[in-house]
Amino acid sequence: MTTAIETVDGAATVPRPATPGPEMAALARFYPDVTWTGTVSAGGMGPGTPEMTAIGRASHRCIQDGRWIVVTGCQEQYLLDGTFVLTWQLHLVVGWDPSHGDYRATIADNYGHAAVMRGRIERDRLVFETIDDAPVRLRMTWDASDPPRLTWRNESSTEGRDWFLIESYTMTPTGREPAVPRPSRRT
Protein backbone atom coordinates (compact mmCIF):
# COMPACT_ATOMS: atom_id res chain seq x y z
CA MET A 1 0.00 0.00 0.00
CA THR A 2 1.33 3.46 -0.74
CA THR A 3 2.51 5.41 2.26
CA ALA A 4 0.39 8.44 3.08
CA ILE A 5 1.77 11.80 2.13
CA GLU A 6 4.45 12.67 4.63
CA THR A 7 5.30 16.18 5.66
CA VAL A 8 8.63 17.73 6.35
CA ASP A 9 8.32 21.06 8.12
CA GLY A 10 4.71 21.29 6.87
CA ALA A 11 5.60 20.65 3.18
CA ALA A 12 4.08 17.57 1.55
CA THR A 13 6.39 14.88 0.17
CA VAL A 14 5.64 12.32 -2.52
CA PRO A 15 3.96 9.05 -1.40
CA ARG A 16 6.27 6.01 -1.45
CA PRO A 17 5.60 3.01 -3.69
CA ALA A 18 4.04 -0.09 -2.18
CA THR A 19 6.54 -2.58 -0.80
CA PRO A 20 6.06 -6.34 -1.15
CA GLY A 21 5.10 -8.13 2.02
CA PRO A 22 4.41 -11.69 3.16
CA GLU A 23 1.62 -12.02 0.59
CA MET A 24 4.20 -11.96 -2.23
CA ALA A 25 6.42 -14.51 -0.49
CA ALA A 26 3.34 -16.79 -0.18
CA LEU A 27 2.56 -16.31 -3.88
CA ALA A 28 6.08 -17.07 -5.17
CA ARG A 29 5.88 -20.82 -4.51
CA PHE A 30 3.20 -21.18 -7.20
CA TYR A 31 5.48 -19.74 -9.88
CA PRO A 32 8.74 -21.63 -10.46
CA ASP A 33 9.85 -21.99 -14.07
CA VAL A 34 8.04 -25.08 -15.36
CA THR A 35 7.31 -27.39 -18.26
CA TRP A 36 3.97 -29.18 -18.50
CA THR A 37 1.90 -31.79 -20.27
CA GLY A 38 -1.83 -32.30 -20.18
CA THR A 39 -5.10 -32.21 -22.03
CA VAL A 40 -7.58 -29.73 -23.44
CA SER A 41 -11.11 -31.08 -22.97
CA ALA A 42 -13.43 -31.72 -25.91
CA GLY A 43 -15.37 -28.46 -26.26
CA GLY A 44 -12.76 -26.65 -24.16
CA MET A 45 -11.88 -24.21 -26.93
CA GLY A 46 -15.48 -23.72 -27.97
CA PRO A 47 -18.46 -25.88 -28.94
CA GLY A 48 -17.47 -28.82 -31.12
CA THR A 49 -13.70 -28.49 -30.65
CA PRO A 50 -11.86 -31.81 -30.23
CA GLU A 51 -9.94 -33.09 -27.21
CA MET A 52 -6.26 -32.26 -27.53
CA THR A 53 -2.97 -32.89 -25.79
CA ALA A 54 -0.61 -30.05 -24.95
CA ILE A 55 3.05 -29.54 -24.10
CA GLY A 56 4.10 -26.22 -22.63
CA ARG A 57 6.58 -24.15 -20.65
CA ALA A 58 6.59 -20.98 -18.60
CA SER A 59 9.20 -18.69 -17.14
CA HIS A 60 8.68 -16.28 -14.28
CA ARG A 61 10.44 -13.16 -13.07
CA CYS A 62 9.81 -10.53 -10.45
CA ILE A 63 9.55 -6.87 -11.39
CA GLN A 64 9.38 -3.61 -9.42
CA ASP A 65 11.47 -4.90 -6.50
CA GLY A 66 9.26 -7.96 -6.05
CA ARG A 67 5.90 -6.16 -6.26
CA TRP A 68 4.69 -8.29 -9.22
CA ILE A 69 5.52 -11.67 -10.79
CA VAL A 70 5.50 -11.77 -14.60
CA VAL A 71 4.72 -15.12 -16.24
CA THR A 72 5.44 -15.80 -19.90
CA GLY A 73 4.00 -19.08 -21.14
CA CYS A 74 3.68 -20.97 -24.40
CA GLN A 75 2.22 -24.33 -25.38
CA GLU A 76 1.77 -26.45 -28.46
CA GLN A 77 -1.54 -28.30 -28.86
CA TYR A 78 -2.09 -31.53 -30.81
CA LEU A 79 -4.99 -33.72 -31.83
CA LEU A 80 -4.99 -37.15 -30.18
CA ASP A 81 -3.39 -38.63 -33.35
CA GLY A 82 -0.40 -36.23 -32.93
CA THR A 83 -1.43 -33.68 -35.58
CA PHE A 84 -0.23 -30.19 -34.64
CA VAL A 85 -3.12 -27.73 -34.14
CA LEU A 86 -1.79 -24.45 -32.70
CA THR A 87 0.62 -22.60 -30.46
CA TRP A 88 -0.92 -20.69 -27.57
CA GLN A 89 0.95 -17.86 -25.82
CA LEU A 90 0.13 -16.21 -22.49
CA HIS A 91 1.41 -13.21 -20.56
CA LEU A 92 0.31 -13.00 -16.92
CA VAL A 93 1.17 -10.44 -14.24
CA VAL A 94 0.25 -11.45 -10.67
CA GLY A 95 0.68 -9.84 -7.27
CA TRP A 96 -0.90 -8.55 -4.06
CA ASP A 97 -3.11 -5.49 -4.41
CA PRO A 98 -3.05 -3.75 -1.01
CA SER A 99 -5.81 -1.32 -1.98
CA HIS A 100 -8.24 -4.23 -2.53
CA GLY A 101 -6.73 -6.62 0.03
CA ASP A 102 -6.45 -9.53 -2.40
CA TYR A 103 -4.34 -11.00 -5.18
CA ARG A 104 -4.83 -9.65 -8.70
CA ALA A 105 -3.76 -10.94 -12.08
CA THR A 106 -3.91 -9.50 -15.56
CA ILE A 107 -3.87 -11.93 -18.46
CA ALA A 108 -3.34 -11.41 -22.17
CA ASP A 109 -2.96 -14.12 -24.81
CA ASN A 110 -2.36 -14.43 -28.53
CA TYR A 111 -6.10 -14.90 -29.15
CA GLY A 112 -6.64 -11.31 -28.06
CA HIS A 113 -8.15 -12.24 -24.70
CA ALA A 114 -7.42 -9.83 -21.86
CA ALA A 115 -8.85 -9.94 -18.35
CA VAL A 116 -8.36 -8.90 -14.76
CA MET A 117 -8.73 -11.62 -12.14
CA ARG A 118 -9.08 -11.70 -8.34
CA GLY A 119 -7.26 -14.41 -6.40
CA ARG A 120 -6.86 -16.10 -3.07
CA ILE A 121 -4.62 -18.73 -1.52
CA GLU A 122 -6.42 -21.66 0.11
CA ARG A 123 -3.65 -23.63 1.87
CA ASP A 124 -1.80 -25.27 -1.08
CA ARG A 125 -4.06 -23.89 -3.79
CA LEU A 126 -4.02 -20.54 -5.57
CA VAL A 127 -7.34 -19.69 -7.23
CA PHE A 128 -7.94 -16.77 -9.62
CA GLU A 129 -11.35 -15.87 -11.07
CA THR A 130 -12.32 -13.15 -13.54
CA ILE A 131 -14.01 -10.28 -11.74
CA ASP A 132 -16.25 -8.83 -14.41
CA ASP A 133 -19.84 -9.85 -15.15
CA ALA A 134 -19.02 -11.13 -18.63
CA PRO A 135 -21.15 -13.98 -19.97
CA VAL A 136 -18.05 -16.25 -19.86
CA ARG A 137 -15.96 -16.27 -16.67
CA LEU A 138 -12.64 -18.04 -16.08
CA ARG A 139 -11.22 -19.76 -13.00
CA MET A 140 -7.56 -20.83 -12.87
CA THR A 141 -6.29 -23.04 -10.05
CA TRP A 142 -2.68 -23.85 -9.19
CA ASP A 143 -2.11 -26.71 -6.72
CA ALA A 144 1.27 -26.86 -4.96
CA SER A 145 0.44 -29.64 -2.47
CA ASP A 146 3.06 -31.87 -4.15
CA PRO A 147 5.90 -29.38 -4.98
CA PRO A 148 7.81 -31.58 -7.42
CA ARG A 149 4.53 -32.02 -9.32
CA LEU A 150 2.43 -28.87 -9.48
CA THR A 151 -0.94 -28.93 -11.22
CA TRP A 152 -2.93 -26.25 -13.02
CA ARG A 153 -6.58 -26.20 -14.13
CA ASN A 154 -8.43 -23.71 -16.30
CA GLU A 155 -12.23 -23.71 -16.08
CA SER A 156 -15.03 -21.58 -17.49
CA SER A 157 -18.58 -20.76 -16.49
CA THR A 158 -21.04 -19.49 -19.06
CA GLU A 159 -23.86 -17.23 -17.88
CA GLY A 160 -23.51 -18.35 -14.24
CA ARG A 161 -23.71 -22.09 -14.95
CA ASP A 162 -21.49 -24.75 -13.34
CA TRP A 163 -17.75 -24.61 -13.99
CA PHE A 164 -16.56 -26.59 -17.05
CA LEU A 165 -12.99 -27.92 -17.31
CA ILE A 166 -11.20 -26.37 -20.28
CA GLU A 167 -7.76 -27.85 -19.65
CA SER A 168 -5.58 -29.41 -16.95
CA TYR A 169 -1.83 -29.88 -16.70
CA THR A 170 0.86 -31.47 -14.59
CA MET A 171 3.78 -29.04 -14.27
CA THR A 172 7.38 -29.94 -13.53
CA PRO A 173 9.72 -27.28 -12.13
CA THR A 174 12.82 -26.89 -14.31
CA GLY A 175 15.17 -26.24 -11.40
CA ARG A 176 14.97 -22.47 -11.23
CA GLU A 177 13.18 -21.64 -8.00
CA PRO A 178 10.90 -18.61 -7.83
CA ALA A 179 12.62 -15.49 -6.59
CA VAL A 180 11.47 -14.58 -3.11
CA PRO A 181 10.53 -10.91 -3.29
CA ARG A 182 12.51 -8.56 -1.11
CA PRO A 183 11.30 -5.25 0.28
CA SER A 184 12.14 -2.30 -1.93
CA ARG A 185 14.70 0.23 -0.76
CA ARG A 186 13.60 3.69 0.20
CA THR A 187 15.74 6.49 -1.10
Where b means 16+ CB within 10 Å and e means fewer, 137-172 reads bbbbbbbbeeeeebbbbbbebeeeeeeeebbbbebb
Q: What confidence tier does 135 reach under pLDDT thresholds 50, 70, 90?
A: confident
* Nearest alpha carbon to residue 139 among 114, 161, 166, 99: 166
pLDDT tens string 88-97: 999 999 999 9
* Nearest alpha carbon to residue 92 among 152, 15, 135: 152
Domain ranges of the chain: 17-173
Q: What confidence score (pLDDT) does residue 171 get?
A: 96
pLDDT tens string 43-76: 999 899 999 999 999 999 999 999 999 999 999 9
* Nearest alpha carbon to residue 84 among 52, 37, 45, 41: 52
Q: Rounded CA gap, 156 and 43, in Å?
A: 11
What is the mean pLDDT of the segment spanning 8-34?
85
From residue 140, alpha-carbon distances to 72, 103, 185 in Å are 16, 13, 33
Half-sphere exposure of 151 (CA within 13 A, CB side): 10
pLDDT over 70, % of the chain: 87
> What DSSP line would sit under the chain, residue for residue?
-PPPPPEETTEE-PPPPP---HHHHHHHTT---EEEEEEE-TTTTSTTPPPEEEEEEEEEEEEGGGTEEEEEEEEEEEETTS-EEEEEEEEEEEEEETTTTEEEEEEEETTS-EEEEEEEEETTEEEEEE-S--SEEEEEEEE-SSTTSEEEEEEEEETT---EEEEEEEEEE-S-PPPPP-PPPP-
Q: What confidence score (pLDDT) does residue 147 get?
A: 80
What is the mean pLDDT of the segment spanning 154-158?
93
Single pTM value for the model = 0.84
Structural class in CATH, domain 17-173: mainly beta
